[in-house]
Amino acid sequence: MDDNINIRSAVATDLPAIHGLVGELADYEKALPSFTATIQQYREEFAAGTFSAHVAETSEGEIIGMTLYYDTFSTWKGKMLYLEDFVVRRSYRGKGIGKALFDEFKAEAERRGCALIKWQVLDWNTPAVEFYERQGATIEKEWWNGKMFL
């Protein structure tokens, strides 16, 4: 990874950039109309401690990647950290930034005493699936997701 990239914990002033990166991710996943969370919601929930994040920042202060995650609980394994979103701006991919962000996410889970980390990846997102497999992850294919909008 480029020495001019810094991985650090996100602060409230990073939220507009994080929100923008999530929008880029939603667009990449062909789901931009479903991205309805507002920057105000991000601010409120970040302040409440609902989620945390790490950012990858250039020496010029541009945020080019992030992981957004929160604590949860596995009834089978115990405390777990859930990776909700993980994105590196397209022009910065393939430079080790994603690995550095993912490594910091794993380290955060260890600091928090988590038994496991978990996330979702779209079945057609081959580059992401291959990235996770290179990190030693198991990609489950037998569990189906359920959700209900309120």
Per the CATH hierarchy, to which homologous superfamily does domain 5-134 belong? Gcn5-related N-acetyltransferase (GNAT) (3.40.630.30)
Candidates 28, 82, 92, 132; catalytic one: 132
Question: Is the confidence at residue 148, as pLDDT, over 80?
Answer: no
Q: What is the pLDDT of residue 9?
A: 98
Q: What is the pLDDT of residue 54?
A: 98
Tell whether pTM > 0.85. Answer: yes
pLDDT > 70 fraction of the chain, expressed in percent and rounded: 99
User: Residue 5: CB partners within 8 Å, gap ≥ 6?
Assistant: 56, 57, 58, 59, 64, 95, 97, 100
pLDDT digits (tens, 9 = 90+) for 59-97: 999 999 999 999 999 999 999 999 999 999 999 999 999
Instruction: Look up residue 99 and give its two tokens.
Output: 């690995």
Q: Active-site residue 132, yes or no?
A: yes
Q: Any idea where the domains of the chain sit in the sequence?
A: 5-134
Question: Is the confidence at residue 58, as pLDDT, over 80?
Answer: yes
